């Protein structure tokens, strides 16, 4: 289907999505080998809720790579949905993804992105008195330009408490973006209070999808699973992120989590329509794609997942439960600091760790003057020690990490 024969952008969006939804496979470039084509027979598809789009259950998150070759390989393998964000490398990740997709036709893949809301209090999970929509709209427009004039799926990230989802100025902005046809589908992303955010997003009645932090280590997985089932039943498309649960059991990266088992655990929930594991290497990509041959967990994989019953206190995975905040004498935004720690020590994505810590902290020794640490962590973390390690990132100019 050629763009030139379409009347306008809205027609293009409607038509191209109908095309994508109906296709068994993406119209990939001729670079796909016979092996790639054969491997596509093993892909497992699910419908992304009421959007009607059929997607392989494995999509990818692009935030951990700056290698366009990896994106090309994913598309060659049959991946349809690429998850990026405006705040990954200040738009550079979006541009890299968009350039690869445009090589084979902008409508050959779906690009999901998000922009940082202004005045969002990460610690409380709500908008605060500094909330303004204009910077967010500008960021969305920048994303739109980078991605070729439209966004396939646009997300409002960091939604947590119901109050944040129903914050009227942002609800109106998101609804307008969809009505104007600038994004074909809209949704929320949530890293904490996931069940509350998902249910609120359904009740808001404007959202098509929810991107949800969901994995076998989350203490709230029962509540989140119930909310996911509820939302899926109401026609919401469910996309899982943070599926690798920190990638390592230990901070020293000597004990990797069984990534196949972790991703299968997520995909065994049929209300999860696709997942966006971050990929850094061709090997990881290959493994993620290949596991669609058999989504069942074998005994060894089940055993590997049960290691979470004996969590290591020096691991990089934080529950994002927020139980530490009221215990801290300085009321630090510890969950955001620990998320930054996880990006640095678990995923070795220092650029994203640097960006994330900037939302919580500008100094390098926030615990200075505190006589002792009063925080007991749900994961048994040495909170003060981990903060001391990650806060050093604030001494590193961000251009060194790009």
Backbone angles phi, psi at 373, to 5 degrees: -85, 125
User: Which of the stretches 53-61, 207-215, 237-245, 320-328 binds ligand SF4 when contact is defined by CB under 6 A?
Assistant: 320-328
Nearest to ligand SF4 of 290, 373 (CB atom) = 373
Pick from 144, 258, 274, 320 the residue near ligand SF4 by CB under 6 A: 320
Choose between 142 and 223: whose C-beta lies nearer to ligand SF4. 223
Comparison of 384 and 398: residue with beta carbon closer to ligand SF4: 384
318 binds ligand SF4 (CB under 6 A): yes
- Does position 213 interact with ligand SF4 (CB under 6 A)? The reply is no
Stretch that binds ligand SF4, among 3-11, 264-272, 317-325, 389-397 (CB under 6 A): 317-325
What value does the CA radius of gyration of the chain take, rounded to a whole number of Å?
20
329 lines the binding site for ligand SF4 (CB under 6 A): yes
Q: Minimum Å distance from CB 370 to ligand SF4?
A: 3
The nearer residue to ligand SF4, 59 or 320, going by C-beta atoms, is 320
Residue 319 contacts ligand SF4 per CB under 6 A: yes
Map the chain to HEC letters: CCHHHCCCHHHHHHHHHHHHHHCCCCCCCCCCCHHHHHHHCCCCEEECHHHCCEEECECEECCCCCCHHHHHHHHHCCCCEEECCCCCHHHHHHHHHHHHHHHCCHHHCEEEEECCCEEEECCCCEEEEEEECHHHHHHHHHHHHHCCCCEEEEEECCCCCHHHHCCHHHHHHHHHHHHCCCEEEEEEEECCCHHHHHHHHHHHCCCCEEEEECCCCCCCHHHHHHHHHHHHHCCCEEEEECCCCCCECCCCCCCECCHHHHHHHHHCCCCCCEECCECCCHHHHHHHHHHHHCCCCCHHHHHHHHHHHHCCCCCCCCCCCCCCHHHCCCCCCHHHHHHHHHHHHCCCCHHHHHHHHHCCCCCCCCCCCCCCCCCCCCCCCCHHHHHHHHHHHHHCCHHHCC
Within residues 354-393, the interface with ligand SF4 by CB under 6 A covers 367, 370, 373-375, 377-379, 381, 383-384, 387
State which residue, 235 or 313, has the beta carbon closest to ligand SF4.
Answer: 313
Closest contact distance (angstroms) between CB of 316 and ligand SF4 is 11
Pick from 71, 197, 275, 332 the residue near ligand SF4 by CB under 6 A: 332
| Binding-site member from 334, 353, 390, 391 for ligand SF4 (CB under 6 A) | 334
Measured CA distances, 65 to 13, 79, 191 (Å): 28, 16, 21
Q: If binding is defined by CB under 6 A, does position 323 make contact with ligand SF4?
A: yes
Q: Is 321 in the site for ligand SF4 (CB under 6 A)?
A: yes
Q: Indicate the residue among 19 and 313 with the shorter CB distance to ligand SF4.
A: 313
The residue count for binding ligand SF4 (CB under 6 A) is: 26
CB closer to ligand SF4, 56 vs 335: 335
Convert residues 268-307 into a mask of x (bound to ligand SF4 by CB under 6 A) and - (unbound).
----------------------------------------
Question: Which residues face 277 on adjacent strands?
Answer: none
- Measured from the CB atom, the residue of 165 and 338 that comes closer to ligand SF4 is 338
Q: Which residues bind ligand SF4 (CB under 6 A)?
A: 318-324, 328-330, 332, 334-335, 338, 367, 370, 373-375, 377-379, 381, 383-384, 387
């Amino acid at each position: 289907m050629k763009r030139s024969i379409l009347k306008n952008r809205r027609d293009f969006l409607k038509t191209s999505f109908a095309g994508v939804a109906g296709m068994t496979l993406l119209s990939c470039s001729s670079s796909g080998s016979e092996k790639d084509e054969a491997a596509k027979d093993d892909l497992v598809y699910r419908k992304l809720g009421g959007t009607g789009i059929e997607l392989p259950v494995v999509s990818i998150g692009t935030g951990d790579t700056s290698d366009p070759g990896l994106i090309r390989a994913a598309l060659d393998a049959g991946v349809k949905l690429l998850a990026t964000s405006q705040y990954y490398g200040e738009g550079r990740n979006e541009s890299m993804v968009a350039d690869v997709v445009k090589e084979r036709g902008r409508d050959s893949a779906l690009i999901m992105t998000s922009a940082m809301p202004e005045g969002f209090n990460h610690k409380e999970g709500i908008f605060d008195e500094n909330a303004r929509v204009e910077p967010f709209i500008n960021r969305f427009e920048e994303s739109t330009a980078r991605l070729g004039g439209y966004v396939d799926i646009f997300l409002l990230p960091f939604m947590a408490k119901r109050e944040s989802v129903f914050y009227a100025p942002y609800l109106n902005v998101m609804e307008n973006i969809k009505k104007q046809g600038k994004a074909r589908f809209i949704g929320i992303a949530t890293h904490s209070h996931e069940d509350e955010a998902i249910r609120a997003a359904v009740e808001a009645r404007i959202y098509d999808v929810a991107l949800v932090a969901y994995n076998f280590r989350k203490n709230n997985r029962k509540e989140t699973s119930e909310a996911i089932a509820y939302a899926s039943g109401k026609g919401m498309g469910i996309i899982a992120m943070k599926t690798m649960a920190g990638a390592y059991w230990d901070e020293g990266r000597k004990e990797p989590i069984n990534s196949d088992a972790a991703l299968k655990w997520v995909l065994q929930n049929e209300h999860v329509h696709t997942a966006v594991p971050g990929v850094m290497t061709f090997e990881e990509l290959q493994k993620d794609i290949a596991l669609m041959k058999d989504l069942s967990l074998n005994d060894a994989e089940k055993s590997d997942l049960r290691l979470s019953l004996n969590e290591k206190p020096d691991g990089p995975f934080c529950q994002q439960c927020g139980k530490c905040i009221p215990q801290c004498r300085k009321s630090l935004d510890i969950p955001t600091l620990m998320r930054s720690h996880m990006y640095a020590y678990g995923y070795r994505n220092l650029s994203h760790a640097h960006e994330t810590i900037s939302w919580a902290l500008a100094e390098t020794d926030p615990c200075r003057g505190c006589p002792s640490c009063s925080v007991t962590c749900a994961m048994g973390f040495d909170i003060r020690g981990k903060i001391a390690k990650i806060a050093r990132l604030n001494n590193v100019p961000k251009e060194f990490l790009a």
